[in-house]
Structure 1
Amino acid sequence: MFALFSALIAAGLLLACLTGYMLENYTVQLRPRGGTGQHSRGEQPPYPAGGMDNIFWFLQVSDIHISKFVDSQRAPDFQKFCTETIDVIKPEIVFVTGDLTDAKERNRIGSRQYEIEWQTYQTILKKSRVLEKTKWIDIKGNHDAFNIPSLESVNNYYRKYSAFKREGSFHYVYQTHFGNYSFICADATPSPGPKRPFNFFGLLNQNKMAELSKLASEAVHSNQTIWFSHYTTSTIISASPGIRRIMSSAIAYLCGHLHTLGGFMPVLHSRHEHGTLELELADWMDNRRYRVLVFDHDLFSFVDLKFDKWPVIVITNPKSTLYSSPVHEPLGKIKHSTHIRVLAFSPAQVTSVLIKIDGVLIGNAVHIEGPLHTLPWKAKDYSKGMHFIEVQAQDKAGRTTIIGHKFTMEEVELLTFDIMASFILQSSHYIMLRVIFILVLLANILVIIVFRYLTKPQLKESPGFFTLANFSFHVFSKTNVLYYPVLLFTCYIAVGPWFIGEIVDGYFGACFVFGIVVDGHFLEGSLTFFIGILQLTFFNIPLICYLCWCLLLRCRGAFFRSHIKYTGWIRSVSMHIIMMGLLGWQVYACYFLQKTYGTVAFFLSPVRTWSVILALVLVCKAWNLNNSAIRTFKAEMKNCPYS
């Protein structure tokens, strides 16, 4: 009953958050197209036509995770990407958005920086000579900050082996004869960088946010602005006014980090309140993904791709309605355009680019220059309603690719993104975790306190499950030797240090639910709240329920060796298997703690190691309890017809 109560609170909160998000997202998506500034730009030439003008493209790749221990093909494939793929696409810029190396130990539990992984990464860049072919901007991810005490540490191999070697946030301007384009990096990696798993969330404190505000102001006169980082905005803890508000003038935010959530969310794209697209890119590590992005007459287009799959197609005009940003793009240029514009890349010559609109073949696009193919059209023929454009490209090797999207030239409601993807990207998960943790904690504390001061129920003939459960909670709450240790331990989870150990090699610190203290720095809590929820839900609550069950059997006169005759084999064995499984989970957490933060952390961990001992002691005490209080409850049970 107690576990059900806590679960209902957590589920209710999640449902409320999701419902609130849906209402907010629905309102955002109904905003009409056409911001004032961009609307006027859309009516001004130049318009997309048949020439190789006002266009450039660039790439993004993320979460490479070059590893010393797993997937020996990961590095060779990346070297092939840096040679063949880059040679074919010839991007102006390549953005590598973090997690260049894996930084996990052989057991996949511990974490540290391996110089050989960084040397492998640098060797790939040198052998492929990719830095001579394009502007290569690689930034840090959370794995690149594992177990690093400071930016000046000799273990901060990013400073030595990366191509860009730029710490912190920065503003890169790409200059063309048709305007400037701003790219702003938001570096949210923590410093010091703790071992895994406590740097899953990025951190942007007040100083970093002030720096980002300054960078954003520098980009106001650029044609377009793109922000990029390793973390999704939903996994960044940012000071006021928040990263989403500061980057609201950008057309898109590029990131990685979530790795398709283990394959459950292969596409994680969404649009924020002010029109900025958030585009998480699937990882290179397991999925071998990369992205081609294009600015064509300041219209933004992109396509997410699988490595070594050709031809690659990007339709730049007419652009996709789903990924339109009316506040940031001159969408009016589409209706004034004279040509459909398509980029088609392949190692072999592209022999045909067939274009259909609404299922009708329009023609074969003409190769103009480089990857650009164009086909004349009358945009006014498609000025009403929603339409679907489909492009089929074939190369000389016989390979074929087909892509398509919806487009419109009317000021209509924007198409909505997948609701779950938008929820994952737009929610502030660290806030949700904090609220859920507090509610589950209060459920733990308040229920046992309330039962302590409530009048216990009178057992009548054939009491049902809920009556007996109610009675067992009263027995537990009024048994001081069990009540006070559990209550104090539950409160301790919220206020005391969970463990003291080497948060970073050579630097001892303390981990609390609200954050980590190490080397004079305080890292705000994030994933700690999630682990706290697991601790309460899968250890504290089951322990209380099991103690109540034991006490109920004791009140009926049973001992551990004789309780089966009161409950039956199936119920008793099932209960013990569940509890042994949960206790095993807690023991494994202790093992994980030792492997991650050292032997000292294992022994100085009240929430992990000590809790296992506490649980065993309390269970033994419950089965052998025979004080005056339990004798009173036994007398009541004896007089009950049920017993």
Structure 2
Amino acid sequence: MASELPLPLLALLFLVILPPLCSSWRPADDDDASVSRSVFPMDGDVAWVVQVSDLHISAYSPERSADLELLGTALRAIRPHLLLVTGDITDAKNQQRTTSRQDEYEWVTYKKTIDAIVGRGGIDKSRIFDIRGNHDMYGVPYRGGKLDFFSTFSVNSQLKRLSTITSILLQGDRSYQFLGIDDTMSVGIRFPANLFGHPTDKRIEAVNSELQYLTNHSNAPVTKVVFGHFPMSFTASSEKGQRYESVFTRQSISAYLCGHLHAKVSKQLWRYHEMRTTEGHKSSFWEWELGDWKDSRLMRILAIDGGAVSFIDHTLNQALQTSILITYPTDSRSMNMLESEKWSMRNDINVLVFSHQVIRSVSARVFDSYSGFKVVEEIPLQLVFSSSADRPLFHAKWNAENYRSPSPTRYWLQVFVLDSHGVKISSEQRPFSVEGKMAIPTRSWLSYLVFEVQWEDMYRVLMWSNMAFTILLLFTPKILYHFVSRSSSYQRWVMSVLTSPIQQRKSYLWLVWFLMEGTRSKPFWSCLVIYVLWLIEMPWFWGRATSEDGEIAQMYLSGWSMPFHDGGLTGNKLSNPDVLVITLPFLYLVVIPVIVLIYGLFAEKAIVCSRRSRRVEYSAGSANTLAESARLLPDAPRALLMKFSGKMVSMVIQFWGSWTRRALLLACSITAAIHLKLCSKLMSAYGMVPVALSPPLTWMPLLLLGAAAYCTKLHGD
């Protein structure tokens, strides 16, 4: 017995001292942390920009680019200071959406579409800023290479703004800074393992310096807005564990704009970040995700009014008619900043009205929700005249003291507009607080899970908890069996567990016996231990991680290992935690079920053997009893009774054993089907032959299940 444990103990010791690979394998350092800067004049202290995200221009869905004509028409009415395109410009997938590849035709279509928008919308091309999304880096071995079409066809590339940080300054009575960040991977792993933003320490430090620079060198107050493609929940930490949230709060940005998640999750993914700085001060910022253009045709108009940031989203299924954006007071549910020491009450209402028609009148109504939403006050607004004809700003004075309230949702504001055609348009009612109080609404569990859970940390929890459970599943019953099997009472205990009546059986005793019985086969148990160790430390499979004709790379539990390449590949481990979409389904839906099913097959074999031995004893005893009872019967009925009783006992035992095994084999077939489906997806994404020739991923689960099913087959089954 003592010779059974060296391999398990060595394996357990190896796992204990194994360093957490997730934290040590990081993306390669990106030297491009430079900043491109642009400055534009601004009339007054109200500015507004338009944001679109996730265009996913596709060669197989031409309507997405065609419908962007609606955006061009809308821009003619809105006349924004900037147009921000926050990533995923092209779709970069094949028609079946099973694999990714960069398509030059899609990028040419994007360039032509932008040119058409410039002509139709009347916006200066220099005021359009686009950044990469993960789709724009699918299969790009390195930036600036022949497959990096963003570097050729994007607006930023045409205007020589290819830095990963883009700083835009709108200068007027106040200064408004928009900072764009490109956090896509330096080496573009193909779909599906390319899901997260990957900032570097250099880039985070550069962002911090750029945000701090204006604060130190500007005489006018500065309002800062940052935009990128990835939400904070889908942005990994840097090599040293730094994150943007601490930088944003320390630099007092107002909002972070992003995309990536699409409106299928939710059209209102808003998050309020609040942290304490190193000086002990409380600071905060809003994170506002914008749904996709791809399916939802969403567009956002965001305005900054004297430092107060507000926005409104539109679905452009048809041409924009009239848009009403209340820039002050802001919506207390999603736009206020609760900073009482900095808050100053303003006695005005400002509204931007965007329309192709001439606006005749604008008025605002205040409603009191405590009085059944009765109108408290109606205020006419007047157009603010300026040297620029592109300022559709309407303004009115009021006494803000009248609307002080401990509740941020007591008073509601609605604006009504009448155009030259006699058409009346009204904005949505929305609550406001003149004191800057907030009423953040509760979010659905799905919104919370997707947008507020930090998925980098969640991946570590899910992965290592799975590994810990798997190790316990392998070693605990083996060690327990090693000690209890020495006792002569073990077999009696097993028989008592198996033969006790159903109503007296204790489930935990059955579970203990089931687990120990599953580990009795030393060859199978050793194979499972070696297999799990391989999955933790060794590569899972080999595939073309970047382009379809790129070099073969290895995928580990902690990311991809890229080969050295003259074009700039680094040889470092990449794509963590992006591989979660591959590893987690495999670990939870394949590896653990394979171990449990192998245990079940061996346990079922032990039960059937035990019941067969009992059947022999029972048959012998029953034969004597039947013989005594049958003496009173004639010869023919006596023989019939003996034959019938023997068959009934045999049928009951065989029925139980047969159907249990069939259920286990059915579960094995389902697990194998799930496994083959996962493998087929990987073959489509990274190449059929490399994945098919990767035994740890493709063949081992099937071999283990097949061998266990064969070895537990009893004669007569």
Tell me what 1:587 maps to.
Answer: 676
Matches within 5 A, 1:177-188: 177-188=172-183
Kindly indicate whether residue 113 of structure 2 is the aligned counterpart of residue 77 of structure 1: no
Q: Distance in 1 between matches of 2:537 and 2:685?
A: 22
Kindly indicate whether residue 46 of structure 2 is the aligned counterpart of residue 55 of structure 1: yes
Matches within 5 A, 1:152-231: 152-165=144-157, 166-220=161-215, 221=218, 223-231=222-230
Tell me what 2:645 maps to.
Answer: none
Alignment gaps of 5+ in structure 1: 1-51, 627-643
Q: Distance in 1 between matches of 2:438 and 2:48?
A: 28
Q: Distance in 1 between matches of 2:495 and 2:418?
A: 80
Change (3 A) 1:419 1:551: same
Matches within 5 A, 1:339-418: 339-358=348-367, 359=373, 360=375, 362-368=378-384, 370-385=391-406, 386=408, 387-393=411-417, 395=419, 396=421, 398=423, 400-410=425-435, 412=437, 415=440, 418=443
- Structure 1 position 143, deviation (Å): 0.1
Report the 3-state secondary structure (helix = DSSP H, G, I; strand = E; otherwise coil) of the residue aligned with 1:224: strand
Matched letter for residue 66 of structure 1: I
Tell me what 2:272 maps to.
Answer: 271
Q: Distance in 2 between matches of 1:565 and 1:624?
A: 15
Tell me what 1:324 maps to.
Answer: 336
Q: Distance in 2 between matches of 1:545 and 1:397?
A: 72
Matched letter for residue 458 of structure 1: V
Tell me what 2:527 maps to.
Answer: 485
- Structure 1 position 256, deviation (Å): 0.3
Tell me what 1:253 maps to.
Answer: 256
Pairs aligned (count)? 565
> Which residue of the other structure, out of 116, 129, 135, is the alignment partner of 1:143?
135
Report the 3-state secondary structure (helix = DSSP H, G, I; strand = E; otherwise coil) of the residue aligned with 1:365: strand
- The answer (yes or no) to whether the contact 2:44–2:172 under 8 Å persists in 1 is no
Matched letter for residue 603 of structure 2: L
Deviations 1:603-634 (A, max 9, x none): 342343123432343333443379xxxxxxxx
> Which residue of the other structure, out of 86, 90, 104, is the alignment partner of 1:97?
86
Q: Distance in 2 between matches of 1:145 and 1:237?
A: 17
Change (3 A) 1:476 1:168: farther
- Structure 1 position 511, deviation (Å): 0.8
- Structure 1 position 87, deviation (Å): 0.5
Tell me what 1:129 maps to.
Answer: 118
Kindly indicate whether residue 610 of structure 2 is the aligned counterpart of residue 618 of structure 1: no
Change (3 A) 1:92 1:105: same
Tell me what 1:292 maps to.
Answer: 301
Tell me what 1:238 maps to.
Answer: 237
Report the 3-state secondary structure (helix = DSSP H, G, I; strand = E; otherwise coil) of the residue aligned with 1:619: helix
Deviations 1:134-178 (A, max 9, x none): 410000000000000111211100011111123343242323231
Alignment gaps of 5+ in structure 2: 1-42, 275-282, 368-372, 386-390, 485-489, 564-570, 612-650
Report the 3-state secondary structure (helix = DSSP H, G, I; strand = E; otherwise coil) of the residue aligned with 2:207: helix
Kindly indicate whether residue 545 of structure 2 is the aligned counterpart of residue 554 of structure 1: no
Matched letter for residue 143 of structure 2: L
Q: Distance in 2 between matches of 1:350 and 1:422?
A: 41
- Structure 1 position 210, deviation (Å): 2.6
- Structure 1 position 564, deviation (Å): 7.0
**Which deviates more from structure 2 when the two are superposed, residues 283-292 or residues 206-215?**
206-215
Relative contact order higher in (CA < 8 Å, ≥ 6 apart): 1
Matched letter for residue 566 of structure 1: W
Change (3 A) 1:498 1:394: farther
- The answer (yes or no) to whether the contact 1:232–1:257 under 8 Å persists in 2 is yes
Tell me what 2:588 maps to.
Answer: 537
Q: Distance in 2 between matches of 1:426 and 1:310?
A: 35
Matched letter for residue 105 of structure 1: N
Matched letter for residue 308 of structure 2: L
- Structure 1 position 573, deviation (Å): 5.8
Q: Distance in 1 between matches of 2:700 and 2:360?
A: 68
How much identity, in percent, do the aligned residues show? 23
Deviations 1:343-387 (A, max 9, x none): 122233345534221241514433445422233322221133442
Deviations 1:240-268 (A, max 9, x none): 331111122211111000113xx242210
Q: Distance in 2 between matches of 1:485 and 1:412?
A: 62
- Structure 1 position 284, deviation (Å): 0.5
- Structure 1 position 416, deviation (Å): 5.2
Q: Distance in 2 between matches of 1:67 and 1:368?
A: 43
> Which residue of the other structure, out of 289, 301, 304, is the alignment partner of 1:280?
289
Report the 3-state secondary structure (helix = DSSP H, G, I; strand = E; otherwise coil) of the residue aligned with 1:527: coil
Change (3 A) 1:153 1:448: same
Matched letter for residue 415 of structure 2: V
- Structure 1 position 329, deviation (Å): 11
- The answer (yes or no) to whether the contact 1:138–1:162 under 8 Å persists in 2 is yes
- Structure 1 position 459, deviation (Å): 3.3
**Which deviates more from structure 2 when the two are superposed, residues 291-300 or residues 351-360?**
351-360
> Alignment RMSD, CA only?
2.7
Tell me what 1:640 maps to.
Answer: none
**Which deviates more from structure 2 when the two are superposed, residues 529-538 or residues 512-521?**
529-538
Tell me what 2:315 maps to.
Answer: 306
Q: TM-score, normalising length from structure 2?
A: 0.74
Q: Distance in 1 between matches of 2:673 and 2:361?
A: 61
Kindly indicate whether residue 469 of structure 2 is the aligned counterpart of residue 448 of structure 1: no
Q: Distance in 1 between matches of 2:112 and 2:424?
A: 32
- The answer (yes or no) to whether the contact 1:60–1:292 under 8 Å persists in 2 is yes
- The answer (yes or no) to whether the contact 1:586–1:608 under 8 Å persists in 2 is no
Q: Distance in 1 between matches of 2:305 and 2:576?
A: 42
- Structure 1 position 107, deviation (Å): 1.7
Tell me what 1:14 maps to.
Answer: none
Q: Distance in 2 between matches of 1:65 and 1:194?
A: 18
Change (3 A) 1:328 1:169: farther
**Which deviates more from structure 2 when the two are superposed, residues 222-231 or residues 396-405?**
396-405
Change (3 A) 1:171 1:200: same
Kindly indicate whether residue 516 of structure 2 is the aligned counterpart of residue 515 of structure 1: no
**Which deviates more from structure 2 when the two are superposed, residues 119-128 or residues 177-186?**
177-186
> Which residue of the other structure, out of 444, 457, 467, is the alignment partner of 2:509?
467
Structure showing greater Rg: 2
Q: Distance in 2 between matches of 1:155 and 1:259?
A: 25
Q: Distance in 2 between matches of 1:214 and 1:397?
A: 52
Q: Distance in 1 between matches of 2:452 and 2:362?
A: 37
Kindly indicate whether residue 55 of structure 2 is the aligned counterpart of residue 64 of structure 1: yes
Deviations 1:35-89 (A, max 9, x none): xxxxxxxxxxxxxxxxx8421111111000001123x3211111321x2011010
Matched letter for residue 244 of structure 2: I
- Structure 1 position 438, deviation (Å): 0.5
Matched letter for residue 98 of structure 1: G
- The answer (yes or no) to whether the contact 1:502–1:509 under 8 Å persists in 2 is yes
Change (3 A) 1:394 1:575: farther
Report the 3-state secondary structure (helix = DSSP H, G, I; strand = E; otherwise coil) of the residue aligned with 1:259: coil
Q: Distance in 2 between matches of 1:289 and 1:458?
A: 65
Deviations 1:211-243 (A, max 9, x none): 223222223246111111100111111223311
- Structure 1 position 405, deviation (Å): 2.0
Deviations 1:397-425 (A, max 9, x none): 74734313222233656645537445543
Deviations 1:89-133 (A, max 9, x none): 010101100000000012201101000100111011112325861
Change (3 A) 1:398 1:583: farther
